[in-house]
Amino acid sequence: MSMEEKRRRGCCEPVPPALPNERAEELAAVFKALGDPTRLQMLYMLVAADGAICVCDFTQAFGVSQPTVSHHLAKLRDAGLVEAEHHGIWTYYTLGPGLPPEVRALLEGVRA
């Protein structure tokens, strides 16, 4: 088989178009933020919650320090997945507008 014949293999079928670069970058940021089990659990909890969740509740739920929880929440906030609102000394978190509907649907479908 000649080199030219080898190069042609796999070129006979149409290939679907790739995601637009901007959309791929947006989704990569979301998947990167979801790539940590604690952050994934935090989003799962927020999807299931009736309202905002206090940072102190996340700290207790995961048995880790407040700075560690804040680090994870900052990553989620940077990705646009959560929003923070301050009430006195506490910060409360809700789902952000950057949470793609597909991700929300995925998290709603997860069962413990």
Amino acid, res. 26: E
What does the alpha-carbon distance between residue 78 and residue 33 come to, in Å, rounded to a whole number? Answer: 9
For the chain, what is the largest distance between any 2 Cα atoms, rounded to a whole number of angstroms? 74
Between these two residues, 5 and 25, which has the higher pLDDT value? 25
What residue segments make up the domains of the chain, in order of their start?
A: 22-109
What does the alpha-carbon distance between residue 110 and residue 98 come to, in Å, rounded to a whole number? Answer: 20
Domain 22-109: CATH class, spelled out: mainly alpha
pTM: 0.77
Give the model confidence (pLDDT) of 13-52 as tens digits: 788 889 999 988 888 888 899 899 999 999 999 999 999 9
Q: Are residues 24 and 18 in contact, defined by beta-carbon separation less than 8 angstroms?
A: yes
Q: What pLDDT was estimated at residue 12? A: 72
